[in-house]
Amino acid sequence: MKNLIQIIEDDTSVRKLLEITFKEYEFNFVSSENKKNAMIMFLSHNPDLVIVDLGLPDGDGKEFIKHIREISKIPVIVLTARHDEKEIIAALDVGADDYITKPFSVNELLARIRANLRRNINEETLSDKIVCNDLQMDIAARDIFFKGEKLKLTPIEFELLKYFLLHTNKTLTHQQILNAVWGTGYQNEMQYLRTYVNTLRKKIEENSTRPIYIKTESGIGYRFSCSGN
Ligand code: CA
């Protein structure tokens, strides 16, 4: 069945581009140009994924994300006019999963949409194993395998990789990761995070300077990429 994508974007040319793309790539869509109509549409159509512009004529897209997060866990991708790190982090903090900056390429947009739809399916299937390309985690046994071999990880490396594997294909801010892995009080210890990301990369990336799993989102955080199984 086709996935239904909800678009909230007041810029007509961007909205049209999204609509044409979704028509061509076999997604169903509903669209609106303001927050008020978007909420009505969200409640009546029950979409599989939302794409929302942050600057809307009747307010901030972040408000819309906050509202739907109270009732839904579906993937939300934010559209921003430029690479405004503060705005992107704020949107991720209120519950957005990912972001795209305008102008965007259609291929990048489709890749992000597919990755986010996949993540949602993974979260719905209550399994005791998580598989991400060459990585496999046995949650109950607390073991992580890479190409069939058990990885030797320090406790922090394990917690960090586990957090990534539980949140694949989602843009995670530095603070979200530090909070989840190190706990409160460490949210500003960026150097810890950088150090452990480097040691993890050495264990799971073929080329740690061109990582395929742990992608750096410059100025924002990291995204753990899984191309699907
Ligand atoms: Ca706008």
What would the two tokens of residue 9 be?
């974007």
Ligand 1: centre distance to CA 10 (Å): 5
Ligand 1: centre distance to CA 81 (Å): 8
Q: What is the pLDDT of residues 181-210, one digit of tens each?
A: 998 888 888 999 999 999 999 999 999 889
Contact 202, 195 (CB under 8 A): no
Ligand 1: centre distance to CA 61 (Å): 9
Instruction: Give me the pLDDT at residue 197, please.
Output: 97
Instruction: Give me the pLDDT at residue 7, please.
Output: 98
Instruction: Give me the pLDDT at residue 229, please.
Output: 45
Instruction: Give me the pLDDT at residue 125, please.
Output: 62
- What does the CA dihedral 56, 60, 66, 71 come to, rounded to 10 degrees? -20
Domains of the chain, each with CATH number or no CATH? 4-123 (3.40.50.2300), 127-224 (1.10.10.10)
Ligand 1: centre distance to CA 56 (Å): 5
Q: Is 11 exposed, middle or buried (0-12, 13-18, 19+ CB in 10 A)?
A: middle
Query: Could you tell me what percent of the chain has a pLDDT over 70?
Result: 96
List, for the chain, all residue ranges whose pLDDT scores fall below the cut of 50.
Answer: 229
Instruction: Give me the pLDDT at residue 4, please.
Output: 97
**DSSP letters spanning 112-156:** HHHHHHHHHHHHHS--SEEEETTEEEETTTTEEEETTEEP---HH
Q: Are strands 214-217 and 221-224 parallel, antiparallel or unpaired?
A: antiparallel
**Alpha-carbon gap, residue 186 to 179, rounded angstroms:** 7
Query: Could you tell me what percent of the chain has a pLDDT over 90?
Result: 83
pTM: 0.84
Ligand 1: centre distance to CA 29 (Å): 19
Instruction: Give me the pLDDT at residue 191, please.
Output: 93
By residue count, the chain amounts to: 229
Ligand 1: centre distance to CA 9 (Å): 6
Ligand 1: centre distance to CA 37 (Å): 15
Ligand 1: centre distance to CA 160 (Å): 36
